[in-house]
Amino acid sequence: MPLGQLPGNTPMKLGAAALCLCLLAAAVWLSLSMTTSESSGGGGGGGPGGGKKCAPTPLPRADVSLCRNLEVSYPELGNISCQVVPRCNMYRRKITNWPQPKVKYPAALAGADLKTGTIRGSVITDYGPPTPPPTTGLHRYQFFVFLQGTSTIPAPPKQNGDRGAWEMDDFLRNYRLPQAVTSTQFMTEYE
Ligand SMILES: *[C@@H]1O[C@H](CO)[C@@H](O)[C@H](O)[C@H]1NC(C)=O
């Protein structure tokens, strides 16, 4: 399945923006997750004996390198970019049932859809929610935006079945994708 085409002779720049949304979609759908050490940060709002604050907490320091100007919002929880999903309110369970997050890149130069988080184009791999298994600590869910240029990216058959087997490095090399334009991640764990 070829990646989405824009109607008519839309200028290249916008085309590229829309196409990279497809890619972004791919990254989101694959929900690249990697286990991290149990000791790293985490937890969530609602500390003992305090107020009822239930808000995401910032990522552990070692995990902020991907934090750039990309926003990822789930219903109810809001912007989770660069944050750890809090334990309170059953958010960690709920995130598994919520639909795909809205992903916005407010700093996009061309491509209004990127700015508003309205994804257009073809989905390469359907969205899969975070499903971190028990006793594996916090997992990272990473989002990247790439400029696709003119290459066509076919639907990779095996990815739907086993997203854990997906190799991002290979993917980038195969389709000659340059460095990510922007990125972010959030973390959550089994609850
Ligand atoms: C979303 O969260 C990130 C990381 O905390 C922050 O930099 C960004 O400003 C937030 N965006 C909005 C619209 O709140």
Give distance in angstroms: CA of 134 to centre of ligand 1.
29
Sign, CA dihedral 47-49-50-52, equals positive
- Does 187 score more than 70 pLDDT? yes
Q: Is pLDDT above 60 for 15? A: no
> Residue with the nearest Cα to atom 8 of ligand 1?
71
| pLDDT, average across residues 106-126 | 86
pLDDT of residue 149: 82
- The residues that bridge with 188 in the sheet, in sequence order, are 139
Query: Residue 164 Cα, ligand 1 centroid: separation in angstroms?
Result: 28
**How far, in Å, from the CA of 151 to the mean position of ligand 1?**
32
CA–CA gap between residue 4 and residue 158 (Å, rounded): 21
Q: How far apart are CA 49 and CA 63, in angstroms?
A: 29
Residue-wise pLDDT tens digits, 78-112: 999 999 999 999 999 999 999 999 999 999 987 88
* pLDDT (tens digit per residue) in 44-79: 433 444 456 899 999 999 999 999 999 999 999 999
The pLDDT of residue 4 is 35
